Copies of this chain bind each other. A is one copy, B any other.
Amino acid sequence: MSLQTPTATTPIILTGDRPTGPLHLGHFVGSLRNRVTYQDEYRQFIMLADAQALTDNMDDIGKVHRNVIEVALDYLAVGIDPAKSTILIQSQIPELAELTFYYLNLVTVARLERNPTVKQEIIMRGFERDIPAGFLTYPASQAADISAFKATIVPVGEDQIPMIEQCNEIVRKFNRNAGRDILVECKAIVPEVGRLPGIDGKAKMSKSLGNTINLGASADEIRAAVKMVYTDPLHLKVSDPGHLEGNVAFLYLDAFDTDKAGLAEMKAHYVRGGLGDSVVKKRLEGILQDMLAPIRARREELAKDKGQVMQILKDGTMKARDVAARTTDEVRKALGLSYF
């Protein structure tokens, strides 16, 4: 069902990315291609979380700015349609910082420290004792982002579910203090196909691990990456039986090959022996080249007129700001912070 005119009951989605680098196949599988579907069913806000990206990039000012346009190009290239989805730049909606400021009073330090997502990311980013306050408090910021747009659905990875719980706690506490339901609780949805492994077989495709295939990758880059894709280290001779577990070539085929029967046949052949990696990789490369070629072409076309892309971001941001400003106004009034 395509809803051209969202009604009051149309579910509202908030989703987005920290613009710290170009998007890759992992993003495509985990979120981007779902968003292309969502935009026909829901009212979708897609946020370029530049302000949040600063929490651990204060020493590389400029990186975030540069990547905003790159990520926007990725969005548009994969088929996110600004007529259906509202793409916004977080920092250009100061109401989000204002809501964060208020929500900080609704969550205790101890509660933030117990948040499993925050705990895990603190370890992952190597902060230990030198945690920037903005990092510890980012659940409040995320609650601001979600609630500003009164989002009812937030697509997240399994590991982000505690953030959604924390957001709803803040929402409930705020409404209780206000004595009426001003903010809206949201529901996490976890995509079926979650995480794509890196080409090296590591659990996660990630720019910082250098194991990605970017959406804007050239044909040569795709070819080179597929050559490096991790398969079965025990599959030394073509005649050897091969293993599928942890075999990235087949994991990628699972994710992208639409000829499920052909793929099942190939798997069976690989397992019983007599099928070389090169044949599997050729199939994979063909599929990736076919899939990424039009994305790359659209990306290159769009990149010729960055002014137009910025205009799309500006329009989306202004539209989103209207929504956020209305919510913030309600919040301010409920807090008694309205005078003139």
Interface residues of A (CB under 8 A from B): 50-51, 54-55, 58-59, 61-66, 68, 89, 91-92, 94-95, 97-98, 100-102, 104-110, 112, 129-137, 140-141, 177-178, 310, 313-314, 317, 332, 334-340
A138 to B129 CA separation, bound complex (whole angstroms): 19
How close is A176's CB to chain B, nearest CB, in angstroms?
Answer: 9
**20 pairs of residues in contact across A and B, judged by CB atoms under 8 Å:** A54-B102, A54-B105, A54-B335, A58-B106, A58-B177, A61-B177, A61-B336, A63-B336, A66-B336, A91-B337, A94-B94, A97-B98, A97-B100, A97-B101, A101-B141, A104-B133, A104-B134, A112-B133, A313-B339, A314-B339
- Please provide the 3 A-B residue pairs with the shortest distance between their CB atoms, ordered closest to farther: A65-B336, A104-B134, A97-B101
Say whether B109 contacts A64, CB under 8 Å. no
Q: Which residues of B contact A336 (CB under 8 A)?
A: 61-66
Say whether B92 contacts A95, CB under 8 Å. no
Say whether B98 contacts A110, CB under 8 Å. no
Contact of A132 among B61, B104, B338 (CB under 8 A): B104
A137 to B105 CA separation, bound complex (whole angstroms): 10
Say whether A130 contacts B110, CB under 8 Å. yes
Main secondary structure of the interface of A (DSSP, over half): helix
Q: Which residues of B contact A100 (CB under 8 A)?
A: 97, 101
Tallying the copies of this chain within the complex gives: 2
Given contacts A61-B334, A109-B133, A133-B108, A339 and B101 within 8 Å (CB-CB): no
Say whether B50 contacts A337, CB under 8 Å. yes
How close is A111's CB to chain B, nearest CB, in angstroms?
Answer: 8
Residue of B nearest to A91 (CB): B337
How close is A335's CB to chain B, nearest CB, in angstroms?
Answer: 6
Contact of A134 among B54, B58, B105, B132 (CB under 8 A): B105
How close is A101's CB to chain B, nearest CB, in angstroms?
Answer: 4
Say whether A105 contacts B133, CB under 8 Å. yes
Given contacts A97-B98, A101-B134, A130-B110, A339 and B92 within 8 Å (CB-CB): yes
A55 to B106 CA separation, bound complex (whole angstroms): 9
A17 to B96 CA separation, bound complex (whole angstroms): 26
How close is A213's CB to chain B, nearest CB, in angstroms?
Answer: 27
Residue of B nearest to A133 (CB): B104
Say whether A107 contacts B94, CB under 8 Å. no
Q: Which residues of B contact A132 (CB under 8 A)?
A: 104-109
Q: Which residues of B contact A89 (CB under 8 A)?
A: 339
Which of A63, A102, A131 has the most chain B CB within a 10 Å cutoff?
A: A102
Given contacts A101-B100, A137-B104, A336-B61, A110 and B94 within 8 Å (CB-CB): no
A101 to B317 CA separation, bound complex (whole angstroms): 19
A98 to B98 CA separation, bound complex (whole angstroms): 6
Q: Which residues of B contact A317 (CB under 8 A)?
A: 340
Q: Which residues of B contact A335 (CB under 8 A)?
A: 54, 61, 91
A105 to B335 CA separation, bound complex (whole angstroms): 26
How close is A290's CB to chain B, nearest CB, in angstroms?
Answer: 34
How close is A85's CB to chain B, nearest CB, in angstroms?
Answer: 18
